[in-house]
């Protein structure tokens, strides 16, 4: 049922290996028949069934970057964790390459829960997910659908459907602006079909323009430098297929987030350009909801967007808070 993937066996992460954590590679598949690659992290010497967390993101990153850092740290704190590459990216399967989908990428989280639920070393009643950046939105979307998920963390989240349909800070929120984007993307579809390949949109801009906005400089500092560069990362290299944005323009996520009964923690940097996504997602999730007691928005003073990828050199990721959140809600 699963495609045989070629998985790198040497340690090729953007963060150092923690000798208190065991690491191995694994694969699992989603309902669309795509085989996904993951890194499995376990507390060294742990026995029995462990609470488990599936980690993914940022959008355009690979498991050797921020998601792996989160997964390894949480494993050191007692959880079995997996960091996985989404469909069509990294070491995971799926053709064509470098395409994203609000449906398939939400399904990727549930497929990770399938995998964890069936592992002999996992307590299937204590499974959570954690999404970073664009996968923060996907994680909340998955939590709205998958009742097996007991607790969800969205860190420095984006709503990728919102930013594609409305632009940054909703500055292009008009029918006319969306029509122009759709015209351009559908013309690109025709060219791609004629050419027999999918043109890439480009990763983080390089070289960096002097007048680039701060958030672009923030991304450059992570993806294009030794701090976070990885050879398989879309953002570090050629980027997504240009036409990936089409489905995001037309299929909003988070429509039923206020019906999520399980626990959700949204973590965001107060100075992040993306903070409005987290604040608005929390407001929508708690509006007219019967399930607000286990929902929380946790803001990190002075932190910008990528500080929550790797700590930003100032330990910005609140791992103590995240650990406490999972342990409390797994035992609720």
* Interval 171-222: pLDDT, tens: 999 999 999 999 999 999 999 999 999 999 999 999 999 999 999 999 999 9
The pLDDT of residue 265: 99
Closest Cα to residue 98, out of 108, 89, 86? 89
Query: How high does pLDDT run on average in the chain?
Result: 97
Per-residue pLDDT averaged across 127-143, rounded?
98
Question: Is the distance from CB of 111 to CB of 28 less than 8 angstroms?
Answer: yes
Residue pointed to by tokens 């946790």: 298
The upper half-sphere exposure of residue 12, i.e. CA atoms within 13 Å in the direction of its Cβ, equals: 14
DSSP-derived secondary structure for 159-176: -HHHHHHH-GGGTT-SHH
Residue with tokens 């990763």: 203
Fold observed for domain 21-159+253-330? Rossmann fold (3.40.50)
Cis preceding-peptide flag for 279 (omega within 30 of 0)? no
Residues 80-87, mean pLDDT to the nearest whole number: 98
Residue with tokens 């632009």: 167
Please give the C-alpha separations between residue 285 and each of 261, 280, 313, 318, in angstroms, as whole numbers.
Answer: 10, 8, 32, 22
| pLDDT tens per residue across span 35-45 | 999 999 999 99
Contacts of 198 (CB under 8 A, 6+ apart): 96, 97, 98, 99, 192, 241, 242, 243
- Give the domain ranges of the chain: 21-159+253-330
C-alpha dihedral over 164, 167, 168, 173, to 10 degrees? -130
What tokens were used for 149? 């998920």
pLDDT at 11: 97
Give kind and range of the element (H or E) at residue 143. Answer: helix 134-145
Report pLDDT digits (tens) over 272-282: 999 999 999 99
For residues 134 and 61, is the Cβ–Cβ distance under 8 A? no
Model confidence at 102: pLDDT above 80: yes
Spatial separation of the C-alpha atoms in residues 181 and 249, rounded to whole Å: 9
Residue 332's pLDDT is 80
pLDDT of residue 196: 97
Q: Answer whether residue 241 shows pLDDT above 90.
A: yes
User: Does the pLDDT value for residue 1 go beyond 80?
Assistant: no
SS3 282: helix
Identify which of 181, 139, 178 has the alpha carbon closest to the alpha carbon of residue 158.
139
Distance between CA 116 and CA 131 in Å, rounded? 16
Give the pLDDT mean for 15-39: 98
Q: Is the pLDDT of residue 2 over 90?
A: no
CA torsion, ordered 175, 132, 101, 28, to nearest 10 deg:
-170
- Give the contacts of 106 (CB within 8 A, at least 6 positions apart): 138, 141, 142, 145, 253
Q: What is the pLDDT of residue 250?
A: 93
pLDDT in the model for residue 275 = 98
Share of the chain above pLDDT 90, in %: 99
Residue 275 — left, alpha, or beta (φ > 0 → left; ψ -120 to 50 → alpha)?
A: alpha
Q: What is the pLDDT of residue 269?
A: 98
How many Å separate Cα 330 from the centre of its chain?
Answer: 21
Give the pLDDT confidence of 282-326 residue by residue, as tens digits. 999 999 999 999 999 999 999 999 999 999 999 999 999 999 999
């Amino acid at each position: 049922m699963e495609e045989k993937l070629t998985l790198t066996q040497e340690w090729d992460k953007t963060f150092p290996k923690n000798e208190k954590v065991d690491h191995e590679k694994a694969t699992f598949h989603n309902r669309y028949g795509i085989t996904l690659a993951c890194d499995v992290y376990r507390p060294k010497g742990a026995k029995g069934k462990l609470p488990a967390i599936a980690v993914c993101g940022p959008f355009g990153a690979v498991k050797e970057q921020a998601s792996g850092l989160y997964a390894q740290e949480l494993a050191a704190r007692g959880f079995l964790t997996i960091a996985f590459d989404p469909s069509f990216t990294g070491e995971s399967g799926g053709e064509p390459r470098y395409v994203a989908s609000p449906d398939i990428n939400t399904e990727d989280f549930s497929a990770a829960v399938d995998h964890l639920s069936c592992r002999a070393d996992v307590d299937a009643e204590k499974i959570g997910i954690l999404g970073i950046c664009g996968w923060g939105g996907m994680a909340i979307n998955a939590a709205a659908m998958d009742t097996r998920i007991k607790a969800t963390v969205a860190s420095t989240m984006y709503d990728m459907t919102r930013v594609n349909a409305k632009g940054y800070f909703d500055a292009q929120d008009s029918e006319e602006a969306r029509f122009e984007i759709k015209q351009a993307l559908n013309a690109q579809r025709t060219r791609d079909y004629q050419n027999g390949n999918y043109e890439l949109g480009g990763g983080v801009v390089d070289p960096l323009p002097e007048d680039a906005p701060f958030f672009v400089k923030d991304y450059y500092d992570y993806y294009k430098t030794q701090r976070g560069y990885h050879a398989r990362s879309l953002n570090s290299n050629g980027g997504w297929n240009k036409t990936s944005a089409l489905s995001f323009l037309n299929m909003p996520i988070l429509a039923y987030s206020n019906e999520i009964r399980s626990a959700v923690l949204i973590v965001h940097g107060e100075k992040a350009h993306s903070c409005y996504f987290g604040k608005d997602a929390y407001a929508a999730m708690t509006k007219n909801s019967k399930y607000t007691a286990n929902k929380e928005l946790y803001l990190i003073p002075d932190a910008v967007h990528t500080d929550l990828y790797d700590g930003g050199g100032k330990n910005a990721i609140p791992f103590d808070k995240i650990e406490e959140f999972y342990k409390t809600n797994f035992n609720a």
